[in-house]
A and B are shown apart, each in its own frame.
Chain A
């Protein structure tokens, strides 16, 4: 189970900071990701991380995003700097699911948290 938390309102030019608490699984066992969805729009992948520091970022957001984990708290974090109104979205935490069978490994996102709405406004 995944639960996102953080401020619902962030001012333009400031840094958006969110946390995702993972329960029912060790954070060391999987990769974890952040995905967002602007109001009425589609899904946008932001980044993923493994507990040992392996990360991958969306090319379009890479310069502003930092993803991190705290293994002692079983939490994943997202920092997005210099936010604008275009960063207003529901932010989801999701497990990057890698399932291997028959010589192939399959990638998807499952499960997802319920999401948290972040509005960027002064």
Chain B
């Protein structure tokens, strides 16, 4: 089973700043099977990015994804107040796994 590691665990930033979140896999992941989600307290996760770099419907272009193989990145170009949340990466190999999450909170 592929294990995903996310770093940092917590990212403290101010609105307007750039956020860079990392997702590292224990073995190579097909980019088509790498996705990112945003979760706010008390809410279900929301799909942000699929196929490592494709924005889901309705997702603002300040969100972008990149990477391949074992290293993937989610970037938020300029944080809006509504972007402070927990972000998870997800992969599919023979089964699905999620990373432990990165919390982006207000500095």
A residues neighboring B (CB under 8 Å): 33, 42-45, 48, 56-59, 92, 97, 99, 104-115
Contact = CB atoms under 8 A, between A and B. Distances in A.
B82 interface: no
A106 B44 contact: no
A45 B33 contact: no
B98 A59 contact: no
Interface of B: 1, 32-33, 35, 37, 44-47, 50-51, 54, 56, 88, 90, 92, 95-101
Given A42-B100, A43-B98, A106 B47 contact: no
Given A107-B50, A108-B47, A108-B50, 18 more contacts: A33-B96, A42-B99, A43-B88, A43-B90, A44-B98, A45-B98, A48-B96, A58-B95, A59-B95, A106-B35, A106-B50, A107-B32, A108-B56, A109-B35, A109-B37, A110-B47, A112-B46, A113-B44
Contacts of B98: 42-45
B90 A56 contact: no
A108 B95 contact: no
A107 B46 CA distance: 14
A45 B96 contact: yes
Nearest to A92: B44
